[in-house]
């Protein structure tokens, strides 16, 4: 499974639903990943929020628990094809979400997110919420 930024933020905020989902995934032995575009999204949020050092450390600790999957050439290609298809259909999609989707599709992983609507339009992408 790939943790989207909303899932990581909810873990930081100690959301019962997110913590429960993480525990369930851990109990099932599911491999836990995030992506480098997600890391960038979180860094932007931290920078804009001007969080105290203690909060930044907590986010770093949570992100550090996930293996990071990178936007390689094949993942970028898949993201671009999907983004183009959706734009042709008149749908506005965040390019970062497309990158995350491309990585997930390439690695055949589920995206875990609070924002299912952001990802459910990508063909073949499996999405779970909590």
Q: Which two tokens stand for residue 37?
A: 């575009």
Domain count across the chain: 1
CATH of the domain at 46: 3.40.50.1010
Parallel, antiparallel or unpaired: strands 127-128 and 33-35: unpaired
pTM of the model: 0.92
* Separation of alpha carbons 44 and 46, rounded Å: 5
Task: Report the candidate in 94, 32, 102 with the shortest Cα–Cα distance to residue 73.
Answer: 102
Q: Report d(CA 10, CA 43) in Å as an integer.
A: 15
Cβ–Cβ < 8 Å for 100, 111: yes
Structural domain including 54 reads 2-128
pLDDT in 10s for each residue of the chain, 130 residues: 999 999 999 999 999 999 999 999 999 999 999 999 999 999 888 888 877 777 778 888 888 899 999 999 999 999 999 999 999 999 999 999 999 999 999 999 999 999 999 999 999 999 999 9
Hey, CA dihedral for 8, 12, 13, 19, is it positive or negative? positive
């Amino acid at each position: 499974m790939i943790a989207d930024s909303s899932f990581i933020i909810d873990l930081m905020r100690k959301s019962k639903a997110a913590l429960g989902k993480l525990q369930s995934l851990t109990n099932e032995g599911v491999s836990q990943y995030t992506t480098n575009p997600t890391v960038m999204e979180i860094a932007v949020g931290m920078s804009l929020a001007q969080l105290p050092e203690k909060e930044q450390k907590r986010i770093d600790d949570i992100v550090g628990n996930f293996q990071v999957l990178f936007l390689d050439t094949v993942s970028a290609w898949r993201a671009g094809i999907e983004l183009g298809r959706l734009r042709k259909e008149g749908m506005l999609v965040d390019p970062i979400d497309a990158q995350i989707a491309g990585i997930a599709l390439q690695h055949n992983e589920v995206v875990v997110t609070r924002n299912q609507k952001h990802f459910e339009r990508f063909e073949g992408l499996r999405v779970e919420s909590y």
